[in-house]
Amino acid sequence: MRLEIFRCLCVQLAIPLLLLTQTSSTETSAHANHTGCCIASERSALVRFKAGLSDPENRLSTWRGDDCCRWKGVHCSRRTGHVLKLDVQGSYDGVLGGNISSSLVGLERLRYLDLGGNSFTGFQITEFLPSLHNLRYLSLSSSGFVGRVPPQLGNLSNLRYLSFGNNPDTYSTDITWLSRLSSLEYLDMSSVDLSNIPNWLPAVNMLASLKVLILTSCQLNNSPDSLLRSNLTSLEYLDISFNPVPKRIAPNWFWDSTNLKHLDVSWSQFSGPIPDDLGNMTSMVELYLSHNNLVGMIPSNLKNLCNLETLYIHDGGINGSITEFFQRLPSCSWKRISALDLSNNSLTGSLPTKLQESLTNVTSLLFSGNKLTGPLPPWIGELAKLTALDLTDNNLDGVIHEGHLSGLARMEKLLLSGNSIAIRVNSTWLPPFNLTMIGLRSCLLGPKFPLWMRWQTPIYLDISNTSISGIVPDWFWIMVSSLDSVTMQQNKLTGFLPSTMEYMRANAMELSSNQFSGPMPKLPANLTYLDLSRNKLSGLPLEFGAPQLEVLLLFDNLITGTIPPSFCNLPSLKLLDISGNRLTGSTPDCLVNGSTKKTRSLSISNLNLRNNNLSGGFPLFLQNCQQLIFLDLAHNQFFGTLPSWIREKLPSLAFLRLRSNKFHGHIPVELTKLANLQYLDLSNNNLSGGIPKSIVNFRRMILWKDDELDAVLNFEDIVFRSNIDYSENLSIVTKGQERLYT
């Protein structure tokens, strides 16, 4: 009854409008249209659906008022008023969560349901869905659903589109129900665990209308050699990547799918050479074969693939000459090819000096990690659409001139690191591009600062070991100040660092092995890693100003003065190496404000103060460095007795070197009870008395030579993110150059 009244209201509303407009053409269309009308029972189904949801971003704020057809994501039939489509897909402006009410069953005519991209975390894929037998389109993808995929979905015989991809905790043990979805054109079951289905292909082969099949990360463990009678003649898009199928790439059933436009079998442990069958797949547009164990050259009949645009075969064993590779690319598709990624293979030889035709549409050329030699050919400069050129870690050489670069107006990523390429451009040359990534490690850019970089605004920059010398110009520091990570070690950069680096964005800076002099400035506020070792710096800042700093490498500079008390304000510091400087005075005590005994808690695990002129007693601040593993105070002027608190306060200590100081008194027994101690060097002090008997209990230390590997492993953990090899240090001292105790 209520329903009838409600519909009545809608019709009555429509009539006055008609009278006003009068013209007969709008009259007929208005009759056919059912504007502004919502069926009451469906409205209440939606209200109950909404009530079960959590909607923190208030995405369903328009779900108010009588006319549910005007609610966002709800679409009704203009003729009957029934809800036909419900699209509440999550997006950047928010996701829904909570429970999906079975009240949706009330939307009997529903043809389209999209619940994807939300966060129904832990919710079982609902068993009521199969009652929505009119559904043509069902998407439950990426929404945190869990549990078994209900076989009742096989009742949705009208489905054209079915996706429950990207719900990692779902599984199925039987997919025979799929065969009842005879109209299905699109199936995405990616990340559904299908590992318990011994033979998944026959069920899929019943889907004669299938155009798109996505079974990535399904833990499929078999891929039959062939389909005796393939039904999958409409299949255009196949993605079965990230399934561990350790077998040869041919024979394999998918080579029969000659209508494929998109094939992705990357990360699947396939081996052997790419078969000639590929040459029959003349519709192919995008081919992804990366990260398998494929060997040999691409097949010669690849030349038949006149629609090819994208070829990804990175991380494999593709070998042979790069010239042959280019010759085998289909010349009929030269003008279409947009991306070639052959990174991390074994291609050899020089890039061809000439191409048959220009690759006019190419946007990315990725050949890093091969064995390419010779110079960069001039045709690179004609690739007007190129945005990414990655030739990192080859053996290329030769010189790049303006001519190689002037035509590359769209270039964003120029990655040539690890080659001996020289870049020689006129100092007045202005590049046409605006790079986001510049990787030129070990190329030859210097000796002058590369002026062409002046107006670039990269987010990634590596110009380490590029033979640049001289003072860093101001414009360069300005560019550097917006980088996340700065890599310019191993040059001959001179002069002072900027007077403050406080406002720089960087969280990591590699400036080692240059000739920077003067004082170290206040550091970037968000810095976590700084390597300024092997420079000529003369002083430490009063305030470090980088409270998140974890690694600070300042060894082999000319730093004088004392370690400032602000060192105690680096609570995250794990690794400090300031060895090989000219520091004097005693170390700061790091006392907690107002306390005379309590020291601040520090995270330091690795402290190297060797080779300075530091004095004073054994550092007091170490009393609150529970995580200390490596301590080297050798070759300083430290004096006094060794503290008995070592064992209690430094329980993890493994490496302790105090040689060549002025410590005196007895060796405390506590020292010998340190459970993890593996290396102890107390030589060249004024310590008296004998070696305590218990030192014999240093099992690991006495068995040092056999345990060397063990120690190396341990120390690799400590020296995280550092490019200094402490393990090497360790093995040098243990190879008998320094005695344990004299």
Chain residues in the site for ligand NAG (CB under 6 A)? 29, 32-33, 52, 54, 78, 98-99, 130-131, 152, 155, 182, 205-206, 208, 229, 231, 255-256, 277, 280, 295-296, 314-315, 317, 319-320, 335-336, 338, 343-344, 361, 369, 420, 426, 428, 434, 442, 455, 457, 465, 503, 505, 525-526
Q: Round to whole Å and give the CA distance between 380 and 468.
A: 25
Query: Shortest gap between Cβ of 241 and ligand NAG (angstroms)?
Result: 14
Q: Round to whole Å and give the CA distance between 182 and 117.
A: 27
Query: Shortest gap between Cβ of 321 and ligand NAG (angstroms)?
Result: 7
Query: Shortest gap between Cβ of 63 and ligand NAG (angstroms)?
Result: 15
Query: Shortest gap between Cβ of 653 and ligand NAG (angstroms)?
Result: 33
Query: Shortest gap between Cβ of 41 and ligand NAG (angstroms)?
Result: 19
Nearest to ligand NAG of 306, 591 (CB atom): 306
Query: Shortest gap between Cβ of 265 and ligand NAG (angstroms)?
Result: 15
Query: Shortest gap between Cβ of 316 and ligand NAG (angstroms)?
Result: 10
Query: Shortest gap between Cβ of 542 and ligand NAG (angstroms)?
Result: 19
Nearest to ligand NAG of 465, 587 (CB atom): 465
3-state secondary structure 6-68: HHHHHHHHHHHHHHHHCCHHHHHHHHHCCCCCCCHHHHHHHHHHHHHEECCCCCCCCCCCCCH
Nearest to ligand NAG of 324, 738 (CB atom): 324
Preceding amide of 251 cis, omega within 30:
yes
Say if residues 708 and 731 touch (Cβ distance below 8 Å): yes
Distances (CA, A) of 630 to 48, 471, 532, 622, 727: 63, 36, 20, 12, 11
> For residue 297, what are the contacts with CB-CB under 8 A and spacing of at least 6?
273, 318, 319, 320, 324, 325, 328
Query: Shortest gap between Cβ of 441 and ligand NAG (angstroms)?
Result: 7
3-state secondary structure 404-454: HHCCCCCCCEEECCCCCCEECCCCCCCCCCCCCEEECCCCECCCCCCHHHC
Number of other residues whose CB lies within 10 A of the CB of residue 426: 10
Q: At CA 724, angle to CA 719 and CA 725, rounded to 5?
A: 75
Number of other residues whose CB lies within 10 A of the CB of residue 526: 15
Q: Round to whole Å and give the CA distance between 637 and 586.
A: 9
Q: Round to whole Å and give the CA distance between 607 and 623.
A: 14
Query: Shortest gap between Cβ of 549 and ligand NAG (angstroms)?
Result: 13
Query: Shortest gap between Cβ of 657 and ligand NAG (angstroms)?
Result: 28
User: Could you give the 3-state DSSP secondary structure of residue 569?
Assistant: helix
The token pair at 605 is: 């695990």
Query: Shortest gap between Cβ of 561 and ligand NAG (angstroms)?
Result: 27
Nearest to ligand NAG of 442, 672 (CB atom): 442
Nearest to ligand NAG of 251, 539 (CB atom): 251
Nearest to ligand NAG of 316, 616 (CB atom): 316
Query: Shortest gap between Cβ of 133 and ligand NAG (angstroms)?
Result: 6
Say if residues 630 and 654 touch (Cβ distance below 8 Å): yes
Nearest to ligand NAG of 256, 708 (CB atom): 256
Nearest to ligand NAG of 142, 419 (CB atom): 419
Nearest to ligand NAG of 172, 465 (CB atom): 465
> For residue 554, what are the contacts with CB-CB under 8 A and spacing of at least 6?
520, 532, 533, 537, 540, 576, 577, 578, 581
Nearest to ligand NAG of 697, 723 (CB atom): 723
Tell me the residue number closest to ligand NAG, measured at CB: 98
Nearest to ligand NAG of 134, 660 (CB atom): 134
Nearest to ligand NAG of 25, 593 (CB atom): 25
Say if residues 210 and 204 touch (Cβ distance below 8 Å): yes
Nearest to ligand NAG of 222, 723 (CB atom): 723
Query: Shortest gap between Cβ of 277 and ligand NAG (angstroms)?
Result: 4
Q: At CA 475, angle to CA 482 and CA 516, rounded to 5?
A: 90
Q: Which of 678, 736, 674 is nearest to 712 (CA)?
A: 678
Nearest to ligand NAG of 163, 442 (CB atom): 442
Distances (CA, A) of 431 to 398, 404, 440, 456: 20, 11, 16, 9
Query: Shortest gap between Cβ of 617 and ligand NAG (angstroms)?
Result: 38
The token pair at 514 is: 């240059």
Query: Shortest gap between Cβ of 506 and ligand NAG (angstroms)?
Result: 8
Nearest to ligand NAG of 548, 562 (CB atom): 548
Q: Which phi and psi (to 5°) does residue 232 adopt?
A: -85, 50
Looking up tokens 């070829």 gives 311
Say if residues 375 and 399 touch (Cβ distance below 8 Å): yes
Say if residues 637 and 615 touch (Cβ distance below 8 Å): yes
DSSP string for 553-565: E--SS--EE---G
Taking the CA atoms of residue 193, residue 197, residue 200 and residue 203 in that order, the dihedral angle to the nearest 10 degrees is -110
Helical axes 24-32 vs 2-21, angle rounded to 10°? 160
DSSP string for 696-736: GG-HHHHTTTTTHHHHHHHHHHHTTT--S-HHHHHHHIIII
Nearest to ligand NAG of 111, 657 (CB atom): 111
